[in-house]
C-alpha cells in the first residue's frame, strides 16, 4: 500500500485529498490538524502503521505495520448531514459492516463504535470533531480495521476478544486498498441517506446482542443493565430495564458488554 496504489484504487470516489504515511502517531490527530487548516470534504489520512493509535478515552488502538487499515476520513457537514451528526458513528459502522458483508462475513455492530465478527472485534471507530464557535466545522471519522492476522493485538492488550478479516475468511483477504474502497463506497451511499428511516433500520438490524441482556458502563457511574431493544431515531441505544421501562443511552464514552 502506498499513496499511488490508494489514488488508483480510489480514483472513482471523488476523494477530497489524500495524505498517506508509512508510519504515523495517529491518523485522527493528523486529520484533525488538516481539517483545522481547511482540508476539503471527504479527504482521507491513511497510514500503514500507527505508533500511538487512539481508541476512546485514553485507550490505545493497535495498528502494526503491513497488516491493518488505519484511516481517518474528514467530513464537512452540509445541510443534509448537519441535522444528523449523532448518526455519523452509525454511518461509519454501517459502511464497515457493509464492506465486510460483501466479503461474505457476517458482521454485527457493537453499539456504538465497534464491528464484530463471530463475537470478536474486527474494527473500531473513533469520531472526533473540530469546532468553529458553537458549530461543528468538521468531523473526523477514524476507522481501524484488522485485515491480516498480525493486526490482532496480543490477548493481554484486550478486554474484548479480537479477530481479523483474514482469520474470519480463513484465507488471504483482498488488498487493503480494495477493502477501503468498499468501505468508502458504502459510506458515500449511506451519507446520501443519512436522514432516512432506512438508515436507522439497517443500523438497528445490524446490532450485536439485540434482544439480549447487556450492561452499559459509563465512566465511574454504576452500570445500567437491560435488554438491548434497538435504537432511538438519533442513534441512541434503547434498553428495556427489568421493570419494562425504556432507557435511552446516549453515546458519550460508554462501553457495552453482554451481561455476565
Asked if 251 touches ligand ADP (CB under 6 A), the answer is no
- Backbone region of residue 66 per phi and psi (left: phi > 0; alpha: psi in -120 to 50; beta: other values): left
193 vs 250, which CB is nearer to ligand ADP?
Answer: 250
Rounded to 10 degrees, the C-alpha dihedral 47/170/163/2 comes to: 0
What the block records as the C-alpha cell of 104 is: 461474505
Asked if 108 touches ligand ADP (CB under 6 A), the answer is no
Report in angstroms how near the CB of residue 92 gets to ligand ADP at its nearest: 12
Residue nearest to ligand ADP (CB): 55
27 vs 43, which CB is nearer to ligand ADP?
Answer: 27
144 vs 182, which CB is nearer to ligand ADP?
Answer: 144
Report in angstroms how near the CB of residue 96 gets to ligand ADP at its nearest: 13
Residue with cell 439480549: 212
Asked if 82 touches ligand ADP (CB under 6 A), the answer is no
Within 50-69, the residues that bind ligand ADP by CB under 6 A are 55-56, 59-62
Asked if 27 touches ligand ADP (CB under 6 A), the answer is no
Instruction: Specify whether the CB–CB gap between 251 and 86 falls below 8 A.
Output: yes
Asked if 121 touches ligand ADP (CB under 6 A), the answer is yes
Partners of residue 2 on adjacent β-strands: none
Number of residues that bind ligand ADP (CB under 6 A): 20
Q: How far apart are the first and last CA of the chain?
A: 41
Query: Using CB under 6 A, which of 16, 25, 153, 195 touches ligand ADP?
Result: 153
CA distances from 70 to 39, 115, 176 (A): 18, 14, 10
Asked if 144 touches ligand ADP (CB under 6 A), the answer is yes
Report in angstroms how near the CB of residue 260 gets to ligand ADP at its nearest: 16
Instruction: Specify whether the CB–CB gap between 117 and 168 falls below 8 A.
Output: yes
Asked if 26 touches ligand ADP (CB under 6 A), the answer is no
Binding residues (CB under 6 A) for ligand ADP: these are 55-56, 59-62, 113-114, 121, 124, 144, 146, 151, 153, 157-160, 162, 255
Amino acid at each position: 500500500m502506498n499513496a499511488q496504489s490508494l489514488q488508483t484504487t480510489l480514483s472513482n470516489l471523488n476523494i477530497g485529498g489524500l495524505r498517506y504515511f508509512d508510519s504515523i502517531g495517529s491518523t485522527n490527530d493528523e486529520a484533525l490538524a488538516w481539517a483545522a487548516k481547511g482540508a476539503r470534504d471527504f479527504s482521507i489520512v491513511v497510514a500503514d502503521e500507527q505508533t500511538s493509535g487512539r481508541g476512546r478515552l485514553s485507550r490505545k488502538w493497535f495498528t502494526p505495520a503491513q497488516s491493518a487499515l488505519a484511516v481517518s476520513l474528514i467530513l464537512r457537514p452540509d445541510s443534509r448531514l448537519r441535522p444528523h451528526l449523532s448518526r455519523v458513528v452509525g454511518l461509519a459502522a454501517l459502511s464497515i459492516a457493509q464492506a465486510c458483508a460483501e466479503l461474505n462475513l457476517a458482521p454485527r455492530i457493537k453499539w456504538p463504535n465497534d464491528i464484530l465478527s463471530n463475537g470478536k472485534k474486527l474494527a473500531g471507530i473513533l469520531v472526533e470533531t473540530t469546532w468553529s464557535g458553537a458549530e461543528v466545522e468538521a468531523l473526523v471519522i477514524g476507522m481501524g480495521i484488522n485485515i491480516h492476522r498480525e493486526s490482532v493485538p496480543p490477548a493481554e492488550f484486550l478486554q474484548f476478544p479480537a479477530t481479523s478479516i483474514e482469520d474470519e475468511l480463513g484465507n488471504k483477504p483482498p488488498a487493503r486498498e480494495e477493502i477501503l474502497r468498499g468501505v468508502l463506497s458504502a459510506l458515500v451511499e449511506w451519507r446520501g441517506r443519512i436522514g432516512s428511516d432506512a438508515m436507522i433500520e439497517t443500523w438497528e438490524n445490524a446490532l450485536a446482542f439485540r434482544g439480549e441482556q447487556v450492561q452499559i458502563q459509563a465512566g465511574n457511574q454504576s452500570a445500567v443493565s437491560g435488554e438491548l431493544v434497538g435504537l432511538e431515531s438519533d442513534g441512541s441505544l434503547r434498553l428495556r430495564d427489568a421493570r419494562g421501562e425504556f432507557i435511552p443511552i446516549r453515546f458519550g464514552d460508554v462501553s457495552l458488554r453482554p451481561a455476565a
